Structure 1
Amino acid sequence: MKRFNFRAILTVFVLLIFSISTVVEASPAHKDFHIQGTKIYKDFDIQETNSKLIEAKNNIRNNDLNAAKEILEEIKIAYAIVNLNNEIFNNTYKNELSTLLNDYNKSDQTISEYLQNIGDTYKDNFDKREKKLKEINTKLSDSNVTKLINNSNLTKLKSDINSLMNLNQELKEEYNGIKSIKEESDAISPLLTSLINNEKFMNEKFMNDSNFNYSAINKISVNYKNTWDNYFKDYSIIIFSEGKENWVKNRYEFFKNFHNTLEDISNLEKDELSETKSKDDILSDLKTLSSEVNSLKLNYHQKLILENEINTQKTKVENIGDPWPVILLIIAIIIVILTILFVLYYIFFLSNNKGPRPIKDRTISRYLDGRTFLVFNSNKYGTLFHPKKLEFYANSDVGLKRELNEDSIGVTLNKDGSRVLFVLADGMGGHNAGEIASKIAIQTAIEGGKKELLNAQNLTGSDIKDILRDIVYSAHENILNMAKYNPEMSNMGTTLEIVFLNGNHLYYAHVGDSRVYMTYRDDNSEERIERVTKDHSELGMYMERYGVTEAEARTKVASNVITQAVGITSVPLNPDIGDFLIGINNWILICSDGLTDMVQDDSYIGKILIHEKLQVKEKVNELIRAAKEFGGKDNISIIIFKRR
């Protein structure tokens, strides 16, 4: 029983001590509770939040709207924590004032009575409170008052009144700081929503490869004008200070002028143009529009579409009233008719009735400068083209299981075929994003190759390898930029094979699980096939780690899980770069995994490549046929070439 009483007393004692310490810690007299900077709201840092607001405005200035939206959401969460309320600040002041009055009630009744008239100042706003405290401080210097209070108490009283004034000022500054940030953020939020909606409308109705909607151009201009009038005018100095490029106003004026120019072109076609607007005036307007595209803060894809459309309109205007296009069309029709008549005459009268001879397929998918072609919608095209020093054929097939072909092929070469750039990409990602990723990679590689490789002089092997590496990283950045401004394309990527033939020297850059093969003669003069690249995939890693064959590895790991891709950031991009010499008898094969996942026997692929009776086009078609025969589960893209 005594032990129980002792434990009970000890427990009560501990609880009493804990309660007293808690009360002291929570008491308004606890000096650490005084406002100093931002101590009332420990989860809300005014300086940090103001910096975030500045960052959001910078993002709007740079047209990074999604980033600005995320920052404003963070600021709203901070407001929820702060729960901005004047009563909170009043209570802080009230508690300090109450402590002060209680102290003097106990120590000096004269001062206590004198201070009763400030007991309700906690109900006043910051400015009224400050005024009353200043009045009291002034009265404390009055000789009639100083006679009633001894000097030591008077000095302490003045100090305490000054502390209250300082506290009131700190509370006022913090309250106004938070309030100012909140008001500015709340004002910018609808502005940002309007800009995001404008961007969405522009992408849906105008910036679309398959649906360039002219009627939407005026609506785009109106949208940006409404945004400017309704929101931006009040914040133009904050967002776009003097010297800062105002892309919102630029877009409003640009699309208004573009719409007016299109109307002028339509009137010119109908021969209804006013005397004040000539053909040369319209061409000048289009030139001005072209020079203003960079001021609109468009992403890479939007800028490309808009520049192409302006050039299309320029060509249209140049041809209006020009008789040569019509004359050239008539001449072309006459040539075609004469050619058909000659062929028919030859077949029926000059060929000794041996029947028509097959016509070689010399189609090129899409000419750029006469020596470049791209295969994007590649299931529709096959390409056979033989320059002086090169024999090659490229084709792509959608396969048997896929509805969309996400592979792309590009080739560009000089006139005699001594310098050639071959590019193959196998895209991945939903909502057609794989097709877009592979297309961007091909375009970037072809443009970079034509500029840096085909026409350059005195390049060393090291120079060429550095250029190939830079091209890969440029394609990587272009794909990431496209995905950044089009969330539905996030996580899109592509494999990439870039092969540059420079005379008898071949250089390559490799990312992903597409492959490059080469045939060669061994020591016994027998032709063999060798895989040049190593797959960036779990399959390739397993083969290299355990030294097993591909067939053995396929029983252990999935074959379609790649570890590197252009446009994917989950793993740092590190392309394989290499080179080797080739002779005139070495066949080179570049292919997507749509071939190698189906036709897993490299020796069979080698037999097709070295088959003497098969022309290069037949080699490609035979490999596509074999891949389909074994399932055709993926798109199948193939480039085969050799030097002459």
Structure 2
Amino acid sequence: MDVYGVTDIGCVRKHNEDCIHWQALPGENRFLAVLADGMGGYGGGAYASKLAVEYFTKCVLSSLEYIDSQNNESVMKMMAEAGALANNAVRQERNNHPDFQKMGTTLVAMLVLDDEYWLMHAGDSRCYCASEDGLQPMTRDHSLVQELVDKGSLTEKEAERAPFRNMLTRAVGPDRSVQFSFAKHHFQAGESWLLCSDGLYNTLPDAVIQHWMHSDRTAQETAAALVKESVRNNAQDNVSVIVLKQDATNRSKQYGHLSATGR
């Protein structure tokens, strides 16, 4: 597996509130990738995303060797516990600091276990899969706009311009518990994946994202190109990506942790 991530402050924001982490896990084809997009102002947002990623990652790493990776309930329970731990950590800091009363974060994680992968998310950070069929979203936003689209009250085009499109219905930190969405998928030949914050997909059209994901570039080159294209298109928010490709001949850096960083 070829994995690499990049985060950038974008063209408007003064601070980067995103955090990304990826690393190889013990075993032949096992990886963890986690991305969080903080909210609540620089101090709170950056801290929330960092806390969520760190607590989630630590819990997964400490639990993985003790679970049956072939047992769906076991894997889902482990990831749910890691998500709950991340939520508690962010919420505790939110309650302890008056300046952080609005802090919270999205969280999207991809856990690769041999020939299958698990996705877990809360909020509007996304996972896409690029294949011969095109670019497909593998997660569904937890947002007010998505709910209105699902109900038929808004079209997809109207949703792109809605002034309240950043209002989340689920996030890590604001409430005592958070309901994460889970999905399990089997690898298909030729697939590659992208975890990203809304700063990417709100800036680049799917066709551009698909072009780079389908290119023969390494994960590092693809991630860098996607962020560069976003900045060139005047990204209004922080932009973060983690690219995963099934190309064992081009192995990029097998570990990375980036938070509150800019260009």
What is residue 629 of structure 1 aligned with on the other side? 232
* Native 8 Å contact 1:412 1:446 kept in 2: no
Aligned to 1:642: 245
Q: Give the match for residue 347 of structure 1.
A: none
Distance 1:397 1:443 in 2: 19
The change in CA–CA distance for 1:594 and 1:555 in structure 2 (over 3 A counts) is closer
Deviation at 1:624, TM superposition (A): 0.8
Distance 1:404 1:462, change over 3 A: same
Query: Secondary structure in 2 aligned to 1:534?
Result: coil
Structure 1 counterpart of 2:68: 458
Q: Secondary structure at 1:432's aligned position in 2?
A: helix
Listed one character per residue, the Cα deviations across residues 295-342 of structure 1 (whole Å, up to 9, x for unaligned) are xxxxxxxxxxxxxxxxxxxxxxxxxxxxxxxxxxxxxxxxxxxxxxxx
- The offset of 1:551, in angstroms, is 2.2
**Structure 1 residue corresponding to 2:90, chosen from 446, 468, 479:** 479
Q: Secondary structure at the match of 1:533?
A: coil
Which segments of structure 1 move beyond 4 Å, counting only runs of 4 or more? Answer: none
Are 2:18 and 2:38, in contact at CA under 8 Å, matched by a contact in 1? Answer: yes
C-alpha deviations, 1:488-531, integer Å up to 9, x for none?
Answer: 1112000001110001111011100100001233xxxxx41110
Q: Does 1:573 align with 2:217?
A: no
Residue 211 of structure 2 is matched in structure 1 by: 607
TM-score by length of 1: 0.37
Structure 1 residue corresponding to 2:196, chosen from 570, 588, 591: 591
Indicate conservation of the 8 Å contact 2:110/2:120, yes or no: yes
Are 2:228 and 1:617 aligned?
no
Q: Superposed, which structure 2 residues align to 1:125-274 within 5 Å?
A: none
Q: CA deviation at 1:415?
A: 4.7
Aligned length: 246
Deviation at 1:457, TM superposition (A): 4.9
Q: Deviations over 1:443-495 (max 9, x none)?
A: 11110110112x23533112111111111111111111112221111120000
Deviation readout 1:175-211 (Å, 9 max, x if unpaired): xxxxxxxxxxxxxxxxxxxxxxxxxxxxxxxxxxxxx
**Runs of 5+ unmatched residues, structure 2:** 249-263
Higher RCO, Cα 8 Å, sep 6+: 2
Residues 493 and 639 (structure 1), Cα distance of their counterparts in 2 relative to 1, 3 Å cut: same
One-letter identity of the residue aligned with 1:427: G
Go from structure 1 to structure 2 and tell me whether the alpha carbon gap of 1:509 and 1:606 turns closer, same or farther (over 3 Å shift). same
Which sections of structure 1, spanning at least 5 residues, go unmatched?
Answer: 1-389, 522-526
Q: Residue 490 and residue 640 in structure 1: after superposition, are their counterparts in 2 closer, same or farther (change >3 A)?
A: same
SS at match of 1:441: helix
Aligned partner of 2:210: which letter? G
Give the deviation of 1:548 after TM superposition.
6.1
Q: Relative to structure 1, is the Cα distance of residues 417 and 407 closer, same or farther in structure 2, using a 3 angstrom cutoff?
A: farther
**Corresponding residue number in structure 1 for 2:145:** 539
1:426 aligns with 2:42: no
Question: Could you state the TM-score of these two structures normalised by the residue count of structure 2?
Answer: 0.87
Letter of the structure 2 residue corresponding to residue 630 of structure 1: N
Aligned residue for 1:444? 55
Describe the SS at the equivalent of 1:539.
Answer: helix
Residues 559 and 597 of structure 1 are in contact (CA less than 8 Å); yes or no, is this contact kept in structure 2? no
The structure with the larger Rg is 1
Kindly state the Cα deviation for residue 566 of structure 1 after the two structures are TM-superposed: 0.3
Aligned in 2, Cα 1:478/1:457: closer, same or farther, shift over 3 Å?
closer
CA distance in 2, matches of 1:473, 1:540: 24
Structure 1 partner of 2:257: none
Q: What is aligned with 1:250?
A: none
Shift of 1:403: 1.7
112, 125, 128: which is aligned to 1:501? 112
Whether the 8 Å contact between 1:468 and 1:508 is mirrored in structure 2 is: no
Q: 2:21 aligned with 1:407, yes or no?
A: no
